[in-house]
Amino acid sequence: MLEHVVSQGDCISSIAEQYGLAWSKVWNDPANAELRCLRKNPNVLFPGDVVRLPERQSRDEEGATGLRHSFKKTGALVVLRLRLLLDGRPRRNRPYRIIVDGIWKEGRTDSRGFLELSIPGCARSAKLCLTEDGFQDIYDLCLGSVDPISTESGAIHRLANLGYPTNTDLPSAIRAFQISAGLEATGRMDAATQTKLEEAYGL
């Protein structure tokens, strides 16, 4: 059985695509039971994690002899889900355009500020353009770059993306988030704070 050591930006979908496997087959393989228990989410891995890859299985296809036959590999699609906030408030029903792998898609955020669309599992970056009150905000997205919520880097990344100033005083940023979430303002990233942060961030 092959093993893949996770690098920054890897997720189960991108790893499975790299080896020509279905992401669900990789994630649900019994050899990855410990990883599933540790990380919970196939889209949020940590550098150094080890993913075990099942053997690829062959499949027979019928075809007339003496002729050329074409077979097309279809890449797996995964769901990209983002929540857009402005000063802590959802950016509801706002038109957006997003480009992933050279393909533009358009839509509107929902009533909670979320957008959701299918993208290739191997995609590593995207550019999002959001229009509001005649102005356009542009975001460059690094897909798969957020570490697990249980790690310090994962908590910092989520707080920063939610607009809390983590680069100057992390405990103050945590306290500010705890106050906004109705928690005791301890300045420590305890289990209750992690849960609220994961809910607020959506991942």
DSSP letter for 116, please. Answer: E
19 vs 30: CA distance, rounded Å: 18
pLDDT digits (tens, 9 = 90+) for 139-192: 888 877 778 888 888 888 888 888 888 887 888 999 999 999 899 999 999 999
Using CA atoms in the order 130, 146, 112, 79, what is the torsion angle rounded to 10 degrees?
80
* pTM (whole model) above 0.85: no
CATH number of 2-53: 3.10.350.10
- pLDDT of 126 strictly over 70: yes
pLDDT of residue 60: 64
Question: What residue ranges do the domains of the chain occupy?
Answer: 2-53, 77-142, 152-201
- pLDDT of 13 strictly over 70: yes
52 vs 45: CA distance, rounded Å: 13
- pLDDT of 18 strictly over 90: no
Q: Which of 163, 19, 6, 141 is nearest to 80 (CA)?
A: 141
pLDDT digits (tens, 9 = 90+) for 46-67: 999 999 999 876 666 676 777 7
pLDDT of residue 167: 81
How high is the mean pLDDT of the chain?
Answer: 85
The CATH label, of 1.20.1070, 1.10.3470, 2.60.40, 1.20.1260, for the domain at 77-142 is 2.60.40
* Region of residue 122 (phi > 0: left; psi between -120 and 50: alpha; otherwise: beta): alpha
pLDDT of residue 72: 62
- pLDDT of 74 strictly over 60: no
Overall average pLDDT of the 126-142 stretch: 88
